[in-house]
Amino acid sequence: MPDTEQSKPETGHTEHPDTPWTPIHGQPYRSVPYRPARMPTSESLAQAAELKERMRERRTVRQFSTDPVPPQVVRDAIACAATAPSGAHQQPWTFVLVRDPEVRRRIREAAEHEEQISYDGRLGEEWLAALRPLGTDEVKPHLTDAPALIVVFQQRYWLGEDGTKHKHYYVDESVGIAVGMLLSALHLSGLAALVHTPSPMRFLSEVLGRPENEKAFAVIPVGYPAPDCQVPDLVRKSLDQVLVEV
């Protein structure tokens, strides 16, 4: 059984050094007991029903108040997101929390430059038609009105100690799940958010000085809705339309 650091394959994982090794199919593996208390069914049903209602109330907000938000609430929501499952537990995400007004101004300027080109035709007629019910355009005040931006980056690969590039697996899926958990955590903590995906997003790496292995995934303005906030009148698919039971 491998029991030395030398026999451990390089994985990029952070591990608890004191947990003993156990073998699985001849490979080193460290396990810990997992025994969560089982929730009574009545409580499960009540929790699920309440969560469904609370999540139903979540809306994408594009008009933000400039009121500050408690930074710790945002950090805790990011900590929730960072508990997400990920392909091979590679946790291929970086969350950059931007509160500095000057950096937000630079992000807005660069985003509006790209969005102007997109709305002027780069998106194509079909995409523009899909966006029309949302009432969006190239002007993005949420990037400077919202008191915080979370810029999410995907780590496309990780670097070994000798500088070798190692592939990350299921990066899109993993980061998408983490962002879903982030949006849920923000909403359940009383904050509003928007997933903004200006295309292309390269300017975010430049403005925020991110390394080459990271690729921007989304900018998420976070704050409180403006007092006169309006949201598009959208209808969500019913459970019957999205659930297939076999």
Which lies closer to ligand FMN via its Cβ, residue 60 or residue 213?
Answer: 60
Output the smallest distance, CB 234 to ligand FMN, in A.
Answer: 5
Q: Whole-number minimum distance, CB 169 to ligand FMN, in Å?
A: 20
The CA–CA distances, whole Å, from 79 to 33, 37, 76, 180, 186 equal 23, 23, 5, 13, 11
**Cα(203)–Cα(220) distance, integer angstroms:** 15
User: Whose Cβ is closer to ligand FMN: residue 38's or residue 132's?
Assistant: 132
- Identify which of residues 158 and 171 has a Cβ nearer to ligand FMN in the complex: 171
- C-beta of 21 vs 119, nearer to ligand FMN: 119
Nearest residue by C-beta to ligand FMN?
Answer: 60
Give the shortest CB-152-to-ligand FMN separation in angstroms: 11
Of 88 and 229, the one with the shorter C-beta distance to ligand FMN is 229
User: Between 100 and 172, whose beta carbon lies closer to ligand FMN?
Assistant: 172
**Min dist. Cβ of residue 177 to ligand FMN (A):** 12
Question: Which chain residues interact with ligand FMN by CB under 6 A?
Answer: 59-60, 62, 134, 136, 194-197, 231, 234
CA-to-CA separations, 6 to 10, 15, 142, 166, in angstroms, rounded: 10, 14, 51, 19
- How far apart are CB 145 and ligand FMN at their closest, in Å? 14
Least distance to ligand FMN, CB of residue 208, Å: 18
Supply the DSSP string of 12-39, one letter for each residue. -----TTSPEEEETTEEEE-----PPPP
